Amino acid sequence: MNLSIVKKGLILAAIPFFTQLVFLAMLFKMRQDQLQAQELAIHGKDVVVQTEGAFRRIMEARSAVFSLALTGDPVFVSLWEKSRNEAPAQLRTLRTLLRDDPPQQTRIDQITQQTEEALTRLGAIVQSARQPRTRSEAVAALGEPWVLRFVDDLRVQVNEFLGEEARLGSERQRRLERVREEETWTLIGGAGLTLLSTILLALAFQRSISGRLNVLMENVRHLALGEQLATPLGGRDELGKLDQVFHEMADTLVEKNRENEMFVYSVSHDLRSPLVNLQGFSQELALVFRDLHRIVMESNVPASVRQRVTDLLDRDANESIQFIQTAVRRLATIIDALLRLSRVGRVVYDWQQVDVRATVQRVVTALGNTIDERGARVVVGELPPAWGDPTAIEQIFANLVSNALNYLDPARPGVIEVGSQEDRQNDDKRIYYVKDNGLGIDADHLPKVFLAFQRLHPTVAPGEGIGLPLVRRMVERHGGRIWVESEVGQGSTFFVSLPAQPREGATNAPAWSAAARDGSGSGLTEGGETNTWQQSRSA
């Protein structure tokens, strides 16, 4: 999906919104249907009431006529008139009630017509019944068969009409029930649809946002550890762009890092060239002075002159040369330290399971002479295996142990302990430590111990101050951490965390180490406190 996160978010919000809108519309429609059905049911009842009312009025009118004819009491005239007027009125009302039902309306029209005919004829009988002399005619007229029959005919028709109305009523009732049932199913379906769309959207969100965010976070972690990044995320949304920028940044960093190391490397080499001249020609001068000294001693110059010349040569000239050569040596060791620092980042690591205990035993054996000289004791505890480069891990422990040896307190017998402990925060890491009872490090100096060219005890042991920086670089390239706890006069403990298992994404070719492995030297005390670089090379 090539949508921006904002658009995806809008879709996420819009889909449930529209689902619910449709659902609401359906509910509204059903409510309407139901109301209509109810209205119709009520309407049906009205029709029945009206019909029966009208029929009753007709019967009342007929009764009034009979009573009038038999008694001649004028009260029945008013009763007749009342019923006679009300019956058609009720039928008209009924007709309007049935305006949406033409077949029933037709039936009512017939009933109305017959009623009107009958009432007209009854009206004539009423006229004769009002006069005493014609009352007997009226009584006779009432004995005619149509007077009884029209009521029966009317009743049949009314019953038919009411039967039809009852049928319509039950039909309406069924429709109402159906509408209610539909409503129930719509409610269930709507709830299901909402649930389903929520689940689908959650999945889509997981796939399109969360999953990719996780990849991005993994990439950040890989970069922090100097590992290869995962393949770029697809998509053109903000996350895709962020990941793309992140990849570019990582590439730039890797490139800068390599440039930086190449720069240090080539500058160091360029600095070596003039040093060869400085050292060489100062030595040449020394040879010249030696020859001069010999010539002066062998020649017949006055003793005072000879004395002055030899003094100048032996004292001033030699002293000058000594200073020049000391300075050159110092420069050479610094340049060499820079070269080694730059090399630590460039060598290709050979990742494998490393037997740390055997490695530390080898280191202790190799340092045997120094350990004996210092009268120290090295205790090697349980050391579980680690995942890393065997040479680098050996260099790490060699540096830490020889450091501990160098800074022992002459006032007490030195004890150095190499051990391990569980990493409580990280299951996939192991913590190793090198603990000594030496001089210790002042709290002010602690932050500086892992920085290059910082020498805390320059008088205690020689060196250029890159041992611990080298160790730090190597530990960091393993994705580990190094830290120190120390107390002056009590000793120091250096902790190193190293991976216990192969890391995901850890390849044999770390991002910026395109250089071939430098095989020079045994690696023991690489960056240690003795200047051994010339011996590691042969012509």
Partner 1 sequence: MAAEPISIVLAEDDDGHATLIQRNLQRSGVVNGIFRVKDGQEALELIRGEGSYSDQPSRGNVLLLLDINMPRVDGVEVLRRLKADPRTNAIPVIMLTTTDDPREIERCYQLGCSVYVTKPVEYSDFIDAINRLGLFLQVVRVPYSGPAA
Q: How far is the CB of 329 from partner 1 (least distance, A)?
A: 8
Q: What are phi and psi of 216, to 5 degrees?
A: -65, -45
The residue length of the chain stands at 539
Q: How far is the CB of 373 from partner 1 (least distance, A)?
A: 25
Cα separations in angstroms, 115 against 55, 67, 121, 151: 9, 19, 10, 9
Contacts of 4 (CB under 8 A, 6+ apart): 236, 237, 238
Nearest residue to 450 (alpha-carbon basis) of 424, 430, 475: 475
Q: How far is the CB of 266 from partner 1 (least distance, A)?
A: 9
Interaction between residue 233 and partner 1 (CB under 8 A): no
Report the distance separating Cα 317 and Cα 14, nearest Å. 91
Interaction between residue 170 and partner 1 (CB under 8 A): no
* Binder among 2, 273, 304, 459 for partner 1 (CB under 8 A): 273
Query: Which residues in 519-538 contact partner 1 (CB under 8 A)?
Result: 519-520, 534, 537
Nearest residue to 490 (alpha-carbon basis) of 533, 537, 443, 455: 443
Interaction between residue 269 and partner 1 (CB under 8 A): yes
Nearer to partner 1, 235 or 523 (CB): 523
Interaction between residue 64 and partner 1 (CB under 8 A): no
What tokens does 173 get? 């009732």
Interaction between residue 284 and partner 1 (CB under 8 A): yes
Interaction between residue 328 and partner 1 (CB under 8 A): yes
Cα separations in angstroms, 125 against 140, 148, 300, 451: 10, 14, 191, 134
* Binder among 153, 183, 417, 518 for partner 1 (CB under 8 A): 518
> Per-residue x/- mask for partner 1, residues 466 to 505, rule CB under 8 A?
----------------------------------------
Stretch that binds partner 1, among 165-173, 388-396, 441-449, 516-524 (CB under 8 A): 516-524
Half-sphere exposure of 360 (CA within 13 A, CB side): 23
Interaction between residue 452 and partner 1 (CB under 8 A): no
Nearer to partner 1, 409 or 518 (CB): 518
Q: How far is the CB of 320 from partner 1 (least distance, A)?
A: 16
Interaction between residue 205 and partner 1 (CB under 8 A): no
The neighbour count for residue 276, using CB atoms within 10 Å, is 11
Interaction between residue 322 and partner 1 (CB under 8 A): no
The neighbour count for residue 259, using CB atoms within 10 Å, is 11
Q: How far is the CB of 500 from partner 1 (least distance, A)?
A: 32
* Binder among 10, 276, 379, 509 for partner 1 (CB under 8 A): 276
* Binder among 17, 28, 281, 323 for partner 1 (CB under 8 A): 281
Beta bridge partners of 425: none
Question: How many residues touch partner 1 (CB under 8 A)?
Answer: 26
Give the three-class secondary structure for 442: coil
* Binder among 32, 231, 277, 421 for partner 1 (CB under 8 A): 277
Residue pair 8/1 in contact by the 8 Å Cβ criterion: yes
Interaction between residue 280 and partner 1 (CB under 8 A): yes
Interaction between residue 272 and partner 1 (CB under 8 A): yes
Nearer to partner 1, 198 or 520 (CB): 520
Interaction between residue 303 and partner 1 (CB under 8 A): no
Q: How far is the CB of 518 from partner 1 (least distance, A)?
A: 5
Nearer to partner 1, 88 or 521 (CB): 521
Q: How far is the CB of 341 from partner 1 (least distance, A)?
A: 15
Interaction between residue 332 and partner 1 (CB under 8 A): yes
Nearest residue to 347 (alpha-carbon basis) of 161, 162, 526, 128: 526
Sole residue written with tokens 């995320």: 233
Nearer to partner 1, 257 or 282 (CB): 282
Stretch that binds partner 1, among 36-44, 110-118, 269-277, 379-387 (CB under 8 A): 269-277
Q: How far is the CB of 434 from partner 1 (least distance, A)?
A: 30
Report the distance separating Cα 310 and Cα 294, nearest Å. 9
Query: At CB < 8 A and 24+ separation, what contacts does 316-323 make?
Result: 317/285, 317/289, 318/286, 318/289, 321/282, 321/283, 321/285, 321/286, 321/289
In a 10 Å sphere around its CB, with 0-12 CB exposed, 13-18 middle and 19+ buried, how is residue 359 labelled?
buried
Nearer to partner 1, 154 or 341 (CB): 341
Sole residue written with tokens 């994404």: 505
Q: What are phi and psi of 11, to 5 degrees?
A: -65, -45
Contacting positions for partner 1 (CB under 8 A):
265, 269, 272-277, 279-284, 328-329, 332, 515-520, 534, 537, 539
